[in-house]
Amino acid sequence: MKENQTLADMTYCIPVSAIGSYRHQQVIIRAADPSDFAEYLTGPLPERTDYLRITSLAGDPGPLAGLPPSIAVDLVIRDTASETHRLYDYASQLRQRPLRVSVPAEPGFSGAVRLAASLALPVRLDIVQPDADVTEELGRVLHDYLHQTTVTQPVEFFHSLLFAFYHRTPLTLWEIQEEDPRRYRHIADSGEESDPGRLRSLRADAFPPEQAGECLGCRFFSHCAGFFKHPDPDFSCAGVLSLLDTLRAAAEEIREDMARFGGTVSP
């Protein structure tokens, strides 16, 4: 844990069944089906609820309509081939509520991103270590994010990293993707606590992990911090470095335009 950091700084991703044990913590509350919220939320939501996470889109979104309209919902697509079309149902029934779509960066994922964009929904890309084909697809999605006027909402991690480059702030991919174990903890359905995402086996006090090889002297280490070296430390970052180069070049272009014409931009 970082110096001066307390448990109050942590955000816990918890199953809705555990809500009684975390009412005084900062939480992300997840459920496999919207009906689970109706079953377990017999009282008000914890005051420090970041958002609700639906981990499967197979269920009926109707039960979410009874929750406070201010609470945001993260819609997790597990299989882009079978679940993407369900975004229509969720977006139409929950259009008065803040929504985000989490999309796995797997072959063919760009179709889900395009549909989310057409519905004016923000996107979070669930990305680990993309192969060459997925990296190429990421490049096309990045191009659309930067240049297509039809994309009006953030696509993460692109959006936050673009503005980190623009403002020259040390935001890391671990933070953007909510995988920094110094800030996020995962509570399994069994109640077991662990690091978030890919770092389940890493001690929080050992974060960020020591890096070698490609990471030494990498021009993006202050923002990546070894993010793409897990779980396989031998993963080649050549493809993702090209994506980061594109993002940084776009940020520099924005900065030059702002200097020329005046003003600034915010996320």
Would the pLDDT of 241 be above 80? yes
**Overall domain count for the chain:** 1
Q: What is the pLDDT of residue 5?
A: 45
Using CA atoms, how far apart are residues 120 and 87, in angstroms rounded to an integer?
11
The reply to whether 77 falls in a domain is yes
Burial of 227 (0-12, 13-18, 19+ CB in 10 A): buried
pLDDT at res. 4 = 40
Could you list the residue range(s) of the whole structural domain that residue 204 is in? 7-260
Report which of residues 266 and 104 the model is more confident about. 104
pLDDT, residue 8, reads 59
pTM: 0.89
- CA distances (Å), 222 to each of 170, 211, 217, 231, in order? 6, 12, 10, 19
pLDDT in tens, 134-177: 999 999 999 999 999 989 999 999 999 999 999 999 899 999 99
pLDDT of res. 40: 85
3-state secondary structure of 52: strand
What is the C-alpha separation between 229 and 214, in angstroms, rounded?
Answer: 9
Residue 1 pLDDT class (50, 70, 90 cuts):
very low
Which structure tokens are listed for 190?
Answer: 């069994």
What is the pLDDT confidence band of residue 216, given thresholds at 50, 70 and 90?
confident
Q: Is the pLDDT of residue 181 over 60?
A: yes
Decide if 2 is inside a domain: no
Phi and psi based region of residue 226 (left: phi greater than 0; alpha: psi -120 to 50; beta: remaining): left
The answer, yes or no, to whether residue 242 has pLDDT greater than 70, is: yes
Q: Do the domain assignments include residue 267?
A: no
Give the span between the Cα atoms of 48 and 196, in whole angstroms.
19
Are 208 and 259 spatial neighbours (Cβ–Cβ below 8 Å)? Answer: no
Asked, for residue 80, whether it belongs to a domain, the answer is: yes
Environment class of 201 (CB within 10 Å of its CB; exposed 0-12, middle 13-18, buried 19+): exposed
Q: What is the chain's length?
A: 267
Distance of alpha carbon 26 from alpha carbon 52, whole angstroms: 12
The yes-or-no verdict on residue 209 having pLDDT over 80 is: no
pLDDT of residue 15 exceeding 50:
yes
42 domain residue, yes or no: yes
- Which of these, 5, 7, 52, 54, lies nearest to 27 by C-alpha position? 52
Assess if residue 31 is contained within a domain: yes
pLDDT for position 264 = 62
Please give the mean pLDDT across all residues of the chain: 89
Neighbours of 43 (CB within 10 A): 9
Q: Does a structural domain hold residue 1?
A: no
Specify if 90 maps to a domain.
yes
Q: Which of 67, 12, 3 is nearest to 34 (CA)?
A: 67
What percent of the chain shows pLDDT beyond 90? 67
Largest CA distance in the chain: 56
Q: Give the pLDDT band (50/70/90) at residue 28.
A: very high
Most confidently modeled of 93-97, 101-105, 194-198?
101-105
> In this structure, are residues 145 and 124 in contact, taking their beta carbons and an 8 Å threshold?
no
Residue with the two structure tokens 């979410």: 64
Q: What tens digit of pLDDT does each residue of 51-82 get? A: 999 999 999 999 888 888 889 999 999 999 99
260 vs 201, which has greater pLDDT?
260
Rounded distance between C-alpha atoms, residue 1 and residue 183, angstroms: 9
